[in-house]
């Protein structure tokens, strides 16, 4: 009789770090830190050259031994502050990195709920969605409500994540392996950070999901003004849309959707150009265009629009469905493969 000896390995419990960018949140930051649960291992308070010296305020009161204060000598914006926190969390070998705002609008008690999809291996990146429950929208300022709707549609175009909403939501969690795979230094440093992060995630085909959440708008005033950023966001979304389509359909892959897009644009451009030129000529000469000439302009436009619609349908259906972090090899990670634990550990 022979025996086969098998060795079982127990993967270490995932370490969770929380990044809190801070700018003019001195009055709320201590309460935010106090409400972060024991499931979190590290808390990174990033003082983004705050005129209220939020970092000094946190260090003076020493609210939690898990807190590390990072400081910027010049203001970089919420994106720059978040990236600084990400880099520190990666250096400390955190497995999951949560980002919340310091103004008290987000409930830290929801961290386990937002973390769970990434921890269980269902997603690479998860974010909050304040639009899930209609009852919660009564508290949201009307201008912010409309602005978020517009920005959400632009984000769908620029990222290809057609199932997502509320793109400016700052309650997020990312797997460390995915964070290392992204060019963090190239992310937008201002309020476009969350939208730009989604664009970068789309280029590596990371799985992103929404997690329903609520926000409290009475506890503090947000530094973001939707009316002041819509124009800037529009330009950046247009640029990212072209970049995403080029990366995903021509540079990294070439499929039937690539042909539909290229041919559709060519036909619409040709038919539109012929139609405009013929309209100008007939107006000058005061003569009617022949049916053949009309069809020469109309038929390419019709066929081109059909191809563009087919491309759009393919793009919607082609969203990433398989999380990438279980397949990533990270030389700085403490383990290989996906996490075996589906529960959030204590310290």
CATH class of 16-247: alpha beta
What average pLDDT does this structure show over 138-165? 82
* Burial group, residue 286, by CB count within 10 angstroms (0-12, 13-18, 19+): exposed
Do the beta carbons of residue 88 and residue 70 sit within 8 Å?
yes
* C-beta separation of 320 from 253 below 8 A: no
Give me the pLDDT at residue 10, please: 52
Q: pTM of the prediction? A: 0.84
First CA to last CA across the chain, in angstroms?
Answer: 45
Asked if residue 128 lies in contact with residue 105, where contact means CB atoms within 8 angstroms, the answer is no
User: What integer pLDDT is reported at residue 289 of this predicted model?
Assistant: 77
Dump pLDDT digits (tens) for 32-79.
999 999 999 999 999 999 999 999 999 999 888 999 999 999 999 999
Give residue 62's pLDDT: 82
Check residue 146 and give its pLDDT: 75
Q: Which residues contact 88 (CB under 8 A, 6 or more apart)?
A: 44, 68, 70
């Amino acid at each position: 009789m022979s025996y086969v000896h098998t060795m079982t390995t127990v993967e270490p419990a995932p370490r969770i770090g929380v990044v809190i960018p801070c700018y003019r949140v001195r009055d709320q930051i201590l309460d935010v830190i106090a409400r972060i649960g024991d499931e979190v291992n590290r808390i990174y308070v990033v003082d983004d050259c705050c005129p209220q010296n939020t970092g000094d305020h946190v260090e003076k009161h020493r609210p939690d031994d898990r807190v590390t204060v990072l400081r910027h000598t010049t203001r970089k914006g919420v994106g720059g502050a978040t990236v600084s926190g990400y880099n520190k969390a990666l250096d400390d070998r955190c497995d999951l990195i949560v980002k919340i705002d310091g103004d008290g609008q987000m409930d830290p008690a929801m961290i386990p709920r937002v973390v769970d999809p990434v921890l269980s291996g269902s997603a690479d990146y998860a974010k909050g969605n304040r639009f899930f429950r209609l009852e919660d929208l009564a508290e949201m300022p009307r201008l912010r409500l409309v602005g978020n709707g517009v920005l959400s549609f632009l984000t769908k175009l620029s990222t290809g994540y057609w199932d997502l909403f509320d793109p400016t939501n700052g309650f997020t969690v990312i797997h460390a392996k995915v964070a290392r795979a992204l060019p963090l230094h190239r992310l937008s440093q201002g309020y476009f950070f969350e939208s730009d992060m989604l664009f970068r995630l789309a280029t590596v085909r990371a799985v992103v999901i929404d997690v329903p959440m609520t926000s409290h708008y009475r506890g503090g005033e947000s530094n973001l003004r939707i009316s002041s950023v819509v124009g800037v966001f529009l330009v950046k979304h247009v640029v990212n849309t072209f970049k995403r389509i080029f990366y995903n359909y021509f540079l990294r892959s070439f499929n039937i959707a690539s042909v539909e897009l290229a041919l559709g644009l060519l036909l619409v451009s040709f038919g539109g150009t012929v139609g405009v030129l013929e309209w100008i000529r007939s107006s000058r000469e005061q003569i009617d265009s022949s049916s053949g000439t009309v069809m020469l302009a109309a038929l390419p436009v019709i066929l081109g629009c059909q191809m563009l619609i087919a491309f759009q349908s393919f793009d919607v259906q082609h969203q990433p469905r398989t999380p990438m972090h279980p397949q990533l090899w990270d030389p700085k990670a403490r383990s290989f493969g996906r996490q075996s634990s589906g529960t959030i550990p204590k310290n």
